[in-house]
Chain A
Amino acid sequence: MTLEQLMQSFNLPSIAPEAILSIAALVVMLAGAFLGEAAQRRALPILALAGTLATAVSVAGLWNRNLTFGAPATAVFVADNFALFFKWIFLFGLAVTIAISTRFLQARSGDRHTVLGEYYALLMLSTVGMMMVSGARDLLVVFLGIETLSIALYVLAGFARARLMSNEAALKYFLLGAFATGFLLYGIALTYYATGSTLLPVIKENVARGVTGDGSGIRSLPVLYGGVALLLIGLGFKAALVPFHQWTPDVYEGSPTPVTAFMAVGAKAAAFAAIMRVFPDTLSSPEVLSQWFNIVLVIAVLTMTIGNVVALSQDSLKRMLAYSSIAHAGYLLMGVLAAGNASRSGDTSAISNAHASVLMYLAAYALMNMGAFAVLVWLETTRRSVPQSTLPRAEDAGPEEVNTFDSEDANLRVEELRGLASRQPLAAAALTIFLFSLAGVPPTVGFFGKLFIFTEAFRQNLVGLVLVGVLNTVISAYYYLRPVIEMWAPGDSADMKTPDATAPIVRVNADGTALASPAPRGSAGALTTGLSPAVAVTVVLCAIAVFGTIVVQNTALDWARQAAPSSAATTALSNP
């Protein structure tokens, strides 16, 4: 069999993005092994970004081609628009993470000899896993993708090896994640028994046939429901839905901040890709749908409400964003439920709209959340270490967490933002924009995300859910505003003396590194590496995009709608 025949039969271009990104990851890893440390710092991020860009180009090339990997009827992997739209989101998350990681790793890992090659390669391989999930047309591919992305993330969560909290995060994530994987796999097994296949279109057909004696439909309804429940637990864990969210705050808080950003956006989006494929798209027969629908409804309400209410009482900015990301998963579930109701009715334009709303919300969420975390990185790298005694301790920080590294690395508290608008106006303005966007205040992209998702939920008669969502928006406004209040409040007298009147916001040194305006409460011997220009550029670009994208919403919504119906993945393909 020649390569050409192979290309023909497997349709290799359909996996081009995954292939390119994997190769790029290997190149980065190898380059890391052979380059010196200084050269690594310069070259690796650029290499990694180049790989990301190449992947993005290949994704763009596949748009609207609906390729399948192998014969359309039995293919386990597709490159339909739905998958490609998700790939855009993953690649955006990856690119931002690479950009904001550069100096952060060195500054905050407490480890001078971080292996950069591994870091970037793991990020990229994790993204490959996410991309696999988004294109999966078979439960086993979902499983493979989720494992690929998770294993890389387990390592990344503990990448700041010298920090206890990072280690704790990695271990917690790994143990609980492994447990959740067990649920997922067992769910797949039960579903396989009940429907006779792991291929989503076949499952869909068999589920639609209902219980038949001859084995062509559902073999056993209880087993199917058991399997569906376990699938929901497994995927719910990855998406951090309540009550499977317990790991989230600790892992998000302990992981290096760029990794947290990557997890909060990429892993969550991947889990939602799988949820969309499996639940509204596959388990869409009225009988089965009504079984999971009410459960997911309850989960959606719980996820929104608990995420927001607990976020109210957080002092650590990172932990607050962790809970806020849980709440956002709740809003996303509204879109999933709308899609479920739409596929029950079989109205293709309604299905397409509901899918589009989830995609648009995820894109908006990725943009504003990455931006917020990028500002967090900015503030962490420019913050001089504050003597522990001057900081109020978090109530949840037990005495065992006090050690040399943690005392330098205590997470940024909301009170520490006081007077930031005077010290670092650019960072303060950007964070304000991201927080208002997360709260869904127009005219930001976050408002449009909510607009689409609430509208579709409303259209599908989920009025009660919309009202819960609206109430939650009010609750969330309160905690999103707290940092804004601190930032814009006039600082204490020491801050007021900071001569910020005419000073440029970021001073760029001769060697190209930028130094932030001096922090007011600096102490001697502080570990500060200064602001990386890449972080500043990323923050500014994201902030502009939060407003700017509303001008191109039009195009984005068109894309999302093209991406949406995705019948390619869920029904046996009719050949073109």
Chain B
Amino acid sequence: MNEIHQQILSILLFCPFVGAIVLALMPRQIAREFALAVASVNFLFSLHLWRYWGQMSDGATGFKFEQSVPWLPQFGLTYHVGVDGLSVFLVLLTTFLTPLAMLGAWNVAKRAKEFMVCLLLLEAGLVGVFCALDVLLFYMFWEGVLIPAFILILGWGGAKRNYAAIKFFLYTLVGGLLMWVGILYVYLPGKSGSFDYVRFKEAANALDAADPNGIGTLLFAAFALAFAIKTPLFPLHSWQPDAYDEAPTPAAVILAGVMTKMGTYGLIRFALPFFPNAATAAAPLFVALSLAAIVYGALVAIRQTNLKRLIAYSSLSHLGFIVLGIFAALLIRPTGDVAAQSANLAISGATIQMVSHGLSTAALFLLLAFLFERRASSEMSDFGGLAAPMPRYTVLFWVALFSSIGLPGLSGFIGEYLILQGSMAANFWYALVAATGVIWGAVYMLRMFRRVAFGEVSEANRTLPDVNTREWVAVGLALAASLWIGVAPQSFLNIINPNTNKVVPRAAQSTLMAPSLAQSAMEAPAQSTSDVPAAH
């Protein structure tokens, strides 16, 4: 069993990769079925993480299911993978959404085989991103996932796909390369001499502590810029609406559902723990930008006439929430346990919101994919009154919408609530401005719903078939997961919470467990006193 524990992450990584290669050599007729089988089996494998989570103790580095194999020992590069509470749900999200995206792409008209190959490669790369514990390995996955994503947009995208794809690629590449320079700087001898997470972090912390305003800030900027572009954070978001709009809708499920989380995950795994002082200094800027993203994204979303672009801008707004939670946690003054609890709360909220947004966006994009399949359009003006011909579709749409808005009982509520509570501890006004984003969210979502579901049924829409079983299953699963998080958040928070003080090290100074607002409200973080990262 121990061996499986060690290798499970590699299995999750290589199963879709090998599957993609085999698929490429297979005849076309059974391509979809094979790809779906590979992705589903991979999801079942990934449940191993969930099943045995409680039985595993953290390794010396604070991660579970670790595997470390020297790759380029002369160069300090290790194949080192592992997960903790911050990343495990993103791995699960990836393995969960990939088969759903395949179901959504079931009827992709042309070159279905290549499409599925790209999706499987994307899955492998994303699993790699979320479990790499070697900074260079992480960077390789980070850039590597661009290739299948780029080809997905190009090969199956809309009319302006070339523009969208190259914009998407170059934006990410610029950020990634600057991060690479930052990585090399920390790596160079006298500093880390290794890319392994723990040693790299020590070196980065030392640089940050020595000169937080000079080199520390530059390095933090190099990392944070890459992540902010990927998230995307206002005002670096201009690639995003184009990419989502032009991407084939089933691929947008993964692009919006999982790939955007690469940026926010990078912040909590790398940028903040590496350069805590510089990050704290820059936190007001990031909070301001995330508040701007929340409001701006929501306001622009209200004006959209294209459904995909609307979801893109709503993503901008929702991801602003996540970034707000992450950076607000830094701004909570370290004056005791309540502050530490609140900081951890904000991080927990951001983590759960990543998963939650992944699920609700995926559901929405799947629903748009079904519409696109029927009408070859994502323009709001082409629809209306769908409640009559497609009642089941309308129900699914309704639930997905509320999950996205953050209705209590669905996952969006948990994340946004924790983030708001955490940022309230930092500054009342942060929470107030952010809360308006929730209101705006209701405005644009309900407006969209009214336009799509109610009103006159046009001739073209009168005979649209309702969702079939396949579609029902795909969206239903995503929404069920969202409901599960919403109803029973504690089982998720129990896994996330012990790791939140990895992100905001100052919060870890808390040694006493005081009853707090946080606990009474959410029964949230049972904070362990063992200070995991500081132990090394």
Contacts and interface: CB of A to CB of B under 8 A. Distances in A.
Given A425-B114, A474-B174, A485-B154, A553 B71 contact: yes
Interface string A395-429: 00000000000000000000000000110010001
Nearest to A473: B177
Contact of A459 (B141, B162, B169, B189): B189
B interface majority secondary structure? helix
Contact of B139 (A421, A442, A501): A442
A436 B184 CA distance: 21
B184 A455 contact: yes
B146 A441 contact: yes
Interface string A433-473: 00010000111000100011011001100000011001001
B444 interface: no
Residue of A442, A478, A501, A557 most packed against chain B (CB within 10 A): A442
Contact of A443 (B72, B140, B161, B174): B140
Nearest to A459: B188
Interface string B71-84: 11111000000000
A496 interface: yes
A488 B111 CA distance: 11
B72 A488 contact: no
A432 B72 CA distance: 26
Contact of A490 (B150, B155, B169): B155
A459 B187 CA distance: 10
Contacts of A488: 151, 154-155
Contacts of B29: 502
Interface string A469-490: 0100110011001001100111
Nearest to A447: B140
A557 B72 contact: yes
Contacts of B139: 442
Contacts of B24: 429
A553 B78 CA distance: 12
Given A477-B173, A496-B110, A458 B184 contact: yes
A511 B146 CA distance: 42
Contacts of B170: 474, 477-478
B219 to A, nearest CB: 13
Contacts of A467: 181
Q: Which of B24, B71, B151 has the most CB of A within 10 A?
A: B151
A558 interface: yes
A450 to B, nearest CB: 9
Chain A interface, DSSP helix/strand/loop, else mixed: helix
A318 interface: no
A496 B24 CA distance: 20
B435 interface: no
B144 A441 contact: yes
A429 B169 CA distance: 18
Contacts of A459: 188-189
A454 B184 contact: yes
Contacts of A422: 111
Given A442-B140, A489-B162, A502-B28, A436 B147 contact: yes
A561 interface: yes
A421 B151 CA distance: 11
Interface residues of B, number: 42
A554 interface: yes
A554 B72 contact: yes
A489 B150 CA distance: 11
B178 A470 contact: yes
Contact of A455 (B141, B150, B188): B188
B398 interface: no
Given A466-B181, A489-B162, A421 B188 contact: no
Contacts of A458: 181, 184-185, 188
Interface string B159-192: 0011001100110011001101100110111000
A422 B154 CA distance: 13
A481 B169 contact: yes
B379 interface: no
B373 interface: no
B27 A557 contact: no
A470 B177 contact: yes
A465 to B, nearest CB: 12
Nearest to A436: B147
A553 B76 CA distance: 13
B177 A485 contact: no
Nearest to B189: A459
B74 A485 contact: no
A421 B118 CA distance: 13
Interface in A38-89: none
B114 to A, nearest CB: 7
A441 B155 contact: no
Contact of A554 (B71, B140, B147, B150): B71
B178 to A, nearest CB: 7
A478 B151 contact: no
Contacts of B178: 470
B337 interface: no
A561 B74 contact: yes
Contacts of A447: 140, 143
A414 to B, nearest CB: 12
Contact of B144 (A442, A490, A496, A561): A442
A364 to B, nearest CB: 14
A27 to B, nearest CB: 40
B177 A501 contact: no
A470 B222 CA distance: 13
Given A454-B184, A474-B170, A553 B72 contact: yes
Contact of A485 (B73, B162, B174, B187): B162
Contact of B74 (A474, A502, A554): A554
Contacts of B111: 421-422
B152 to A, nearest CB: 9
Contacts of A501: 28
Contacts of A470: 177-178, 180-181
Contacts of A436: 147
A490 B109 CA distance: 12
A290 to B, nearest CB: 23
A496 B155 CA distance: 13
A467 B147 CA distance: 23
B177 A478 contact: no
Interface string B130-159: 000000100111011011001100110000
A191 B1 CA distance: 69
Nearest to B162: A485
Nearest to B180: A470
A539 B246 CA distance: 32
A558 B74 contact: yes
Nearest to A349: B189
Interface string B40-75: 000000000000000000000000000000111111
Contacts of B141: 442
Contacts of A473: 173, 177
Contacts of B180: 454, 470
A485 B71 contact: no
A470 B187 CA distance: 17
A309 to B, nearest CB: 15
Contact of A474 (B75, B146, B173, B185): B173
A419 to B, nearest CB: 10
A429 B181 CA distance: 30
9 cross-chain pairs, A with B, having the tightest CB-CB distances, nearest first: A442-B140, A488-B155, A488-B154, A470-B177, A442-B143, A443-B140, A458-B184, A442-B144, A485-B162
12 contacts: A441-B143, A441-B146, A452-B75, A454-B180, A466-B181, A470-B178, A473-B177, A478-B166, A488-B154, A496-B110, A557-B75, A558-B74
Interface of B: 24, 27-29, 70-75, 110-111, 114, 136, 139-141, 143-144, 146-147, 150-151, 154-155, 161-162, 165-166, 169-170, 173-174, 177-178, 180-181, 184-185, 187-189
Interface of A: 421-422, 425, 429, 432, 436, 441-443, 447, 451-452, 454-455, 458-459, 466-467, 470, 473-474, 477-478, 481, 484-485, 488-490, 496, 501-502, 553-554, 557-558, 561
